[in-house]
Chain A
Amino acid sequence: MKFLVSLAWKNLSRYKRRTVITMIAIAFGISMYIWIDGFLLGMEKESERNLLWYETGVAEIMEAGYWKDIAYFPLKDSFKVSPKLIKTIEDKGFSWTKRTAFISEMFDENGSLPVIVYGIDTKRDEEVFKLKETIVKGKYLEPNEYGVLVGEWLAEDLSIKVGDVVTVRTRTRLGAYQAVDLEVKGILNCPNPKVNKGTAFIPLSVADREMEMDGRVTEVALGLPEWTSQEARLIPLTKEIEKSFPLLVVKNWRDLAKDFVAVSEGKRGGTSVLLFLIFIIAAVGISNTMLMAVYERIREIGMMRAMGMKDSSIRLAFLLEAGGIGFLGSLIGVALGAFFTFFMVRYGLDYSGILGRMDIGYRVTGIFRAAWDIKAMIVAFFFGVIVSMLVAFIPAHRALKMEITECLRYQ
């Protein structure tokens, strides 16, 4: 065995150029895969965080009817939050805040845009969301004031600034037309493009009064200090609420951000296409190399067989040789991939200049950061080695099917 390994190694270093080129092909494929995978995982993780912090929380409680028509923000399906509901939520370890969402048209002297307005509990909202930290101009809302926070992109589109007054036109819960003047108190720049682009926030008490909510809200958003076991912790809460409050439903952030989930599932399809591409690069590169290696050595193979070397040993020597190329190529590929990923995790890629305000489903803006995907690295590595070995099997097998005398006469 030691002898076979050393023979394979010597043969591998026989044609340095060819070996190196094959290794580069494999390394290229593997590092690309690791890089892109880490990149997508990073976007996914950051998207998840930006959804949870700025858009949905861990989950939301709402009326079943509201969930059914959620695209229309049906205010009639709002509900009053009872102390019993709050106790249930807190007993299960969740933090909470009440919100009322409605669609409106926001005006200033230049024009109007459709905007989703959230009435937020200015005291409690931070229990679940992190809006306050994203304010870049002006300040946060005071309770009861007729003020509004708008996203930076929306402010740009309407060319409004802190201190301006905008008019919000909508229909109340009872169907009456309503127009409210609000002073822009703050502008926020949030890493979640959905929030930046078309969302405004006003105090819940103002929303309650102007929208004729009569103490009702459209949703209770839930937070958790730790996200790691959120799925597991949501299960008992969901059960409890379904039992005690038959009109209410609990929807987790995945349910609430369907567009994002669809994009990230598309990503999974994308990575398998990538994996397939690597397979092709590695397989074509190494199969060509091994084909040449075997055919150049037919006479040698004949000699070794004449000396009584077993066919299985000869085959193994070729597999080891190919595996060696695959091993080195994969090793370099993983190292390069990790190197890229390191920079992408640490510094990220500032793409704001390239993409501007594009909304591609991922809840990220400004800087792409990669995440470490160790499992994918290990998989890619073994994939490179194993594919290389499998591919060498075919030419080796063909040479061994020839008669020994034929091999010895081969030119």
Chain B
Amino acid sequence: MVKVSNITKDYMVGKMVVNALRGVTMEIGSGEFLSIAGPSGSGKTTLLNLIGCLDKSSAGEIFIDNEPVSEKSKKELALLRRKKIGFVFQSFNLIPVLSAFENVSFPLSLLGVNDKELKERTMALLDEVGLGGLENRFPSELSGGQQQRVAIARALIKGPSLVLADEPTANLDSKTGSDILKLMENLNTKHKATFVFSTHDPMVMDFARRLILIHDGRIVDEKTMRRLK
């Protein structure tokens, strides 16, 4: 589904070059529940941004559904993201003037889905993430955990093949965080969407079915895990 082939990413900080990624090669299969883990500054966000087509790599190539990303224009990338990729962020990034319902349905509005279908799909998914009855609340009227549920629903609503979550639980307490991870796991199985999430928290890594450890811009370890329910 996603193939990452020897990518590097350099940032210029003043006159210094920071090698955020130093040659990362990996594959993400369809339906995976994958965690990219590593300490702060190891390059997790940089990698997720590249996979999510929000940024361009300095070298190497990323293929999404076998198509090389580097050849696409900004417009084509925007279209690709609109259709195939959902994002969840550490700080939720909901649109404060929109209600929970409107935030979740935003990607459908971008795709021009008609009102009736939009309403049905949004209400169903809100129920599924446990926010039934809260659809008219605004982000400021929701707890952190509830906001992240809205964000997850927003990422999933269009039925994307890939959901990228950058430290989705870092702003939540551990109980709420594990609830969110369980929700993501459920949705991963039910919707067959690929989930990739980053973390530096060992408790969070334990939820993953496959774990890629990065350190200083390189993959240092990779393991497949069998979780006990």
Whether A associates with B in a native complex is yes
Q: Which residues of A contact B (CB under 8 A)?
A: 3, 7, 10-11, 13-14, 299-300, 302-311, 403-405, 408
The contact of B97 among A14, A307, A309, A405, by CB within 8 Å, is A14
Given A3-B109, A408-B89, A308 and B78 touching (CB < 8 A)? Answer: yes
Q: Are A308 and B80 interface neighbours, CB within 8 A?
A: yes
A330 to B49, alpha carbons, bound, how many Å?
44
Q: Are A405 and B49 interface neighbours, CB within 8 A?
A: yes
Q: Are B83 and A308 interface neighbours, CB within 8 A?
A: yes
Closest 5 CB pairs of A and B: A308-B82, A308-B81, A10-B97, A303-B93, A3-B109
Given A306-B54, A307-B107, A404-B54, A300 and B93 touching (CB < 8 A)? Answer: yes
Residue B135 interfacial (CB < 8 Å): no
Residues from chain B with a CB closer than 8 A to the CB of A408 are 54, 89, 93
Q: Are B55 and A405 interface neighbours, CB within 8 A?
A: yes
Residues from chain B with a CB closer than 8 A to the CB of A305 are 78
Nearest chain B CB to A19's CB is how many angstroms away? 12
Q: Which among A7, A307, A403 has the highest number of chain B CB atoms within 10 Å?
A: A307
- Please, how many residues of chain B have a CB less than 8 angstroms from a CB on the other chain? 26
Nearest chain A CB to B45's CB is how many angstroms away? 8
Residue B87 interfacial (CB < 8 Å): yes
Would you list which residues of chain B between 14 and 67 have a CB under 8 Å from chain A? 49, 52, 54-55
Q: Are A308 and B110 interface neighbours, CB within 8 A?
A: yes
Complex: chain A residue closest to B112, CB-CB: A3
Q: Are B89 and A10 interface neighbours, CB within 8 A?
A: no
Complex: chain B residue closest to A403, CB-CB: B55
Q: Are B87 and A11 interface neighbours, CB within 8 A?
A: no
A14 to B109, alpha carbons, bound, how many Å?
21
Residue B197 interfacial (CB < 8 Å): no
A14 to B139, alpha carbons, bound, how many Å?
13
Given A306-B87, A307-B87, A308-B110, A404 and B82 touching (CB < 8 A)? Answer: no
Residues from chain B with a CB closer than 8 A to the CB of A299 are 91, 93
Residues from chain B with a CB closer than 8 A to the CB of A403 are 55
Q: Are B95 and A303 interface neighbours, CB within 8 A?
A: yes
Residue B79 interfacial (CB < 8 Å): yes
Q: Are A308 and B79 interface neighbours, CB within 8 A?
A: yes
Nearest chain A CB to B166's CB is how many angstroms away? 9
